[in-house]
A and B are shown apart, each in its own frame.
Chain A
Amino acid sequence: MSEAAQELTVSVWRGDARAGAFQGFRVPRFDSQTVLDVVSWIQQNADPTLTYRFACRVGMCGSCAMMVNGVPRWTCRTHVSKVVEAGALTVAPLRNLPVIKDLAADMDPFFEKWAGSVHEPSASRDDEIAEIRPDDPKRAAASSAIECINCAVCHAACDTVAGNPDYLGPAALTRAWTLFNDTRHGGDVLEVVSGAGGCHNCHSMASCTANCPNELDPMSAIAGLKRATVRRVFRRD
């Protein structure tokens, strides 16, 4: 490896909700280095005041998502070699969310949108457990959000969220689609997603699906919601 290739030029966004700017760092290159490794190296060796968020480091918790060279990614599972452009990386807080400080975005607006998509039990512990066949089509459709780690990568990738902050966004709507297909859910999720910020605002451009690190498909889940909400109007079911 040449001398230049052994070092990365990293621009890291520093600041808070009011103002900020990119700050440059030079970070040594390691084998199998992830973007989270780079950020951690800066915090441990160059500037201990750098604020960022992570927990599991293995793609389970969904807390480490950031914009890497302009694209939302889970940084703990993103290898530098996959995203580096001419020896340089730009790391910024997730798009479409307010910034708390440096690389830590405020997740409150993201999770507030899940409020309508909370499980409401249709039975109590005294009732018999509903039987759900694993090969039932509704059960298969419900899988769409079960693997979601709430990382907000899709939320950051969605241009409709950017243009319309009231839009519930791909993650909350995928969750709603799972609840709709969950026979044990007692709430009426279709009405929740039919309002002014609901599923009908989606333009089906699939940035969510293209960027979801877990290879989930929010766009198709939202298309399912659109069909179900319209079917209800015409069939009254």
Chain B
Amino acid sequence: MINRPLFIIQRLSALVMVPLVFGHLALMIYAVQGGLSVDEILGRTQGSWFWFCYYGVFVLAASVHGAIGLRTICGEWLGLRRGLDMLTWLVAASLTCLGLWAVVAVT
């Protein structure tokens, strides 16, 4: 179900996400102080390469991490065997598309 490459990719994506998650949380707390408006947020994120890369990398890491995690859950809890590879790719691709769509929309 999980071989060495999948194991390594999942650990590495987790490693990438740890600082990004904390950065994201800190940013949320900072940004909502004194109220929050769409214009304020978009004013800071639009046209910014930094935020595009920050959340772009975040989306990619979360997509592969989530896809491999779901692969294990579907294998162990639902007894899925054939189709596991396809499911992994499908989940990774959908999460990436949805995530990048959002990233493109705000930057």
Q: A residues within 8 Å of B by Cβ?
A: 160, 163-164, 166-167, 194-198, 200-201, 226, 229-230, 233
Asked if A163 and B7 sit within 8 Å, CB to CB, the answer is no
**Once the chains are docked, how many angstroms separate the CA of A9 from the CA of B42?**
71
Asked if B1 and A230 sit within 8 Å, CB to CB, the answer is no
How many Å from the CB of B27 to the closest CB on chain A? 32
Chain B contacts of A160 at CB under 8 A?
Answer: 76
Asked if B6 and A200 sit within 8 Å, CB to CB, the answer is yes
**Once the chains are docked, how many angstroms separate the CA of A166 from the CA of B82?**
13
Chain B contacts of A198 at CB under 8 A?
Answer: 3-4
Asked if A163 and B2 sit within 8 Å, CB to CB, the answer is no
For B75, give its contact among A164, A194, A226 (CB under 8 Å): A164
**Once the chains are docked, how many angstroms separate the CA of A88 from the CA of B77?**
32
**In residues 1-37 of chain B, which contact A (Cβ within 8 Å)?**
1-4, 6-8, 11
> Do A200 and B3 form a contact, CB below 8 Å, given A230-B8, A233-B8?
yes
Asked if B1 and A233 sit within 8 Å, CB to CB, the answer is no
**CB-nearest residue of chain B relative to A191?**
B4
Could you list some 24 contacts between A and B, CB below 8 A?
Answer: A160-B76, A163-B76, A163-B77, A163-B79, A164-B75, A164-B76, A167-B1, A194-B4, A196-B1, A196-B2, A197-B1, A198-B3, A198-B4, A200-B2, A200-B3, A200-B4, A201-B2, A201-B72, A226-B7, A230-B7, A230-B8, A230-B11, A233-B4, A233-B8
**Once the chains are docked, how many angstroms separate the CA of A194 from the CA of B76?**
18
Chain B contacts of A163 at CB under 8 A?
Answer: 75-77, 79
Contact with A along B84-99 (1 / 0, CB 8 A): 0000000000000000
**CB-nearest residue of chain B relative to A197?**
B1
Chain B contacts of A233 at CB under 8 A?
Answer: 4, 8
How many Å from the CB of B9 to the closest CB on chain A? 11
**Once the chains are docked, how many angstroms separate the CA of A230 from the CA of B76?**
23
How many Å from the CB of B16 to the closest CB on chain A? 16
How many Å from the CB of A175 to the closest CB on chain B? 19
**CB-nearest residue of chain B relative to A162?**
B76
For A166, give its contact among B1, B7, B8 (CB under 8 Å): B1
**Once the chains are docked, how many angstroms separate the CA of A167 from the CA of B81?**
13
**Once the chains are docked, how many angstroms separate the CA of A166 from the CA of B7?**
16
Chain B contacts of A201 at CB under 8 A?
Answer: 1-2, 72
Chain A contacts of B7 at CB under 8 A?
Answer: 200, 226, 230
Asked if B3 and A195 sit within 8 Å, CB to CB, the answer is yes
Chain B contacts of A229 at CB under 8 A?
Answer: 4
Asked if A194 and B3 sit within 8 Å, CB to CB, the answer is yes
Chain A contacts of B77 at CB under 8 A?
Answer: 163
**Once the chains are docked, how many angstroms separate the CA of A68 from the CA of B4?**
36
